[in-house]
Amino acid sequence: NHCIFNTGLDNSNIDEFITLVADQFITLLDSSLPDDFFGLCSCPKCGYIGSSVIETIDKPWMPDKVYRAIYNKAQTCRATCSKCNQPYPLAMADYKGRVMYFESKC
pLDDT tens digits, 23-61: 999 999 988 999 999 999 999 999 999 999 999 998 999
Q: Are strands 41-42 and 49-50 parallel, antiparallel or unpaired?
A: antiparallel
The pLDDT mean for the chain works out to 89
Specify the amino acid at residue 9.
Answer: L
pLDDT for res 85: 94
For residue 101, being part of any structural domain is answered with: yes
For residue 87, being part of any structural domain is answered with: yes
What is the domain range of residue 46?
11-54+81-105
Contact 86, 43 (CB under 8 A): yes
The CA–CA distances, whole Å, from 93 to 2, 25, 101 equal 20, 11, 11
For residue 38, being part of any structural domain is answered with: yes
Structurally, the chain folds into a number of domains equal to 1
Beta strands in the chain (DSSP E): 41-42, 49-50, 52-56, 77-81, 90-91
What predicted TM-score, i.e. pTM, was given to this entire model? 0.75
